[in-house]
Structure 1
Amino acid sequence: MIRLSEARKNKLISWIFSKQNKDGGFAFPHPLPSMSSATFYAVSSLKMLQVEVPNKNKTIKYLLNLQSANGKYYSIYTAYFSIKALSCFNLIPKNPAGAVKYILEYIARWKKISKYYMQVASPLETICYSVEILTLLGYKKGLGEISKLVLKFLNDDGGFGIRDNSEIITTYFALFTLHLIGYSLEKPRKTISFIKKCQNPDYCFASTPRVYSHFIEDTYYGIKSLELFNEKIDKPKQTFKFILKCQNEDGGFSRSTGGGCSTLENCFYAVHILDSL
């Protein structure tokens, strides 16, 4: 249950509504063209707030039309966010078999890659997205093999990341992928220890144990990582107050209390954190 006052909740809902385009999709910043990611964040947040999406049929049509006739998508991100948003309506893509084929082809490209080959980012995020899509579409064949790919990024500190640099966000994506395929870590306490070390002494999570910062995305992924082990954060009351302070006058949420614009992504993090606390 999300502990928001009616006034705060109504301001948030109104702000989210204001980001919807005529095609039913959502955009940020508005009024740019609708985006699959913005639409998912809006739809998921509204579902968590137990509010119906305005112009729902238009939104569904927008999401369905993001898939090409051959089942492919513009990118793995478009596939993930559109299919996840559709799942909020208990729907699947028009061509689920084509979507599965597209995702399997994407995963196959990563299987022989070393974590030291990565120059910018690991594939853990998009691999997680891929496995979640396949799970949503009821495809389970051979998913256990993906554990080998994910475990390439397990570091000595118990976290996951490229070039031995563990971060809370990449650790979550790795853990959730392993959770989806039913794989249990051999040394879970080491990973739990890494996650807890990412907690700041006062409240919230930082990106790594070596950093002191308070951002809403790190806190979301930290909380969700601990939930996979049925563990709780150390400072829930202080974290709750932090999230409330991230709500701007316009009703949306920024990523920190230091100012910044409201975004649909930050609203998604906020409502899910509040639901977990």
Structure 2
Amino acid sequence: MQGNGRLSRLVKGLPLGSSWIGGVARYVLDRRNMDGGYAFCQGLESNVQDTYYGLAILDLLGVPPPNIEETVGWLRGFKEYDLYSSYYVAKALRICGEEPDVEGLRGFIGSLPIVHGEFRVEDVYVEAASELHPVYMVVELAGLAGVELDRERLIGWLLRFKNRDGGFGIHRYSNLNATYHAVASLDRLGFPVGSLRETLSFVRACERPSGGYTATPRSYGVYMEHVYYGVSLLELMGEDPGFPEETAEFIHGCRNSNGGFARSSLGISTFEDTFYAVSTLEKMGRL
């Protein structure tokens, strides 16, 4: 059961800046369900991934979530069954100012082979954004739960996926998705990612003067997730985007009339792509 216009009225009078920002807030608030969760499309049941992204978008915009106690209750009642649901529940609760079930998280993390450096590429989940996405999630969850990892072993294992072109990926195939998840994991593990100069060159090779980033240097299509990964990688390495104005134009070209952002100019709005868009604009100082 979806929310209603009363929620969108919550953004009126708030210092949201330009009108497109208010449109984004309304897009999210109008997709809050009565149970406290969120779904990117009106009429769908709440799901934990969209609830996290919806809360994260509102947090970036400085808009307080309505009836946050209902959202916290929905998150507390959600039965985590895998790495992804555990990750999104924990992250969403933190945005709400609540702590996740730390003891439960510790037990879950301790049961994962990748915590002990035993991760295998065939263990990658179908839903993964890249082959190294699960590792990134575990590293971040471990930080939230205060679980000590074998940092040196994990760092050494991750660096094995660094290819000759500086990018990361399995089977010697570098891509921006895996490169982001590898570098972000290394950064959280305390590795000086600014020293990865070949990786920086790989990211620059994926950067397009017309705006945005591609999955590989030889790819043509620019999509929202690659823009987010590219700008985020540069931020991790202490660098700035080479074409910020053009990249901002690409992002705004993916904004739909409902206020949300899509993966490309011809796509439908999703919470995930809207988060990528708003987060990237924030990183570039364009909120």
- Length-normalised TM-score, structure 2: 0.86
Stretch of structure 1 that moved more, 29-38 or 133-142: 133-142
Note the 1:35-184 alignment, pairs <5 A.
35-67=47-79, 73-93=80-100, 95-108=101-114, 111-113=117-119, 115=121, 123-184=131-192
Q: Give the distance between the partners of 1:117 and 1:142, measured in 2 at CA.
A: 19
Q: Which runs of 5+ in 1 are unaligned?
A: 68-72
Q: Give the distance between the partners of 2:65 and 2:224, measured in 1 at CA.
A: 24
Question: Is 1:22 the equivalent of 2:30?
Answer: no
How many residues end up aligned between the 2 structures? 267
Q: What's the offset of the Cα at 1:64?
A: 1.8
- Look up the equivalent residue of 1:61 and give its one-letter code: G
Stretch of structure 1 that moved more, 45-54 or 151-160: 151-160
Question: Is 1:195 the equivalent of 2:195?
Answer: no
Q: Give the distance between the partners of 2:174 and 2:104, measured in 1 at CA.
A: 34
1:37 aligned counterpart, secondary structure: helix
Q: What's the offset of the Cα at 1:232?
A: 1.0
Q: What's the offset of the Cα at 1:32?
A: 1.9
Q: Give the distance between the partners of 1:56 and 1:186, measured in 2 at CA.
A: 38
Question: Is 1:270 the equivalent of 2:282?
Answer: no
Stretch of structure 1 that moved more, 148-157 or 78-87: 148-157
Q: Which runs of 5+ in 2 are unaligned?
A: 1-15
Contact map agreement 2:261 2:269 (CA 8 A) in 1: yes
- Look up the equivalent residue of 1:250 and give its one-letter code: N
Q: Give the distance between the partners of 1:60 and 1:186, measured in 2 at CA.
A: 37
- Look up the equivalent residue of 2:237 and give its one-letter code: F
2:45 maps to which of 29, 33, 39: 33
Note the 1:237-276 alignment, pairs <5 A.
237-257=245-265, 259-276=266-283
User: Alignment identity in percent?
Assistant: 33
* Alpha carbons of structure 1 residues 107 and 30: separation in structure 2 relative to 1, 3 Å: farther
Contact map agreement 2:194 2:236 (CA 8 A) in 1: no
Question: Is 1:212 the equivalent of 2:224?
Answer: no
2:177 aligned counterpart, secondary structure: helix
1:200 aligned counterpart, secondary structure: coil
Q: What's the offset of the Cα at 1:141?
A: 4.4
Contact map agreement 2:75 2:93 (CA 8 A) in 1: yes
Once the two structures are superposed, residues 220-256 of structure 1 have per-residue CA deviations (whole angstroms, 9 ceiling, x without a partner) of 0010011111011110011111111211111111111
Q: Give the distance between the partners of 1:235 and 1:168, measured in 2 at CA.
A: 17
Q: What's the offset of the Cα at 1:273?
A: 0.8
1:203 aligned counterpart, secondary structure: coil
Q: What's the offset of the Cα at 1:23?
A: 1.1
Indicate the RMSD between aligned Cα atoms, in angstroms.
2.3
* Alpha carbons of structure 1 residues 103 and 227: separation in structure 2 relative to 1, 3 Å: same
Q: Give the distance between the partners of 2:232 and 2:66, measured in 1 at CA.
A: 29
Contact map agreement 1:114 1:152 (CA 8 A) in 2: no
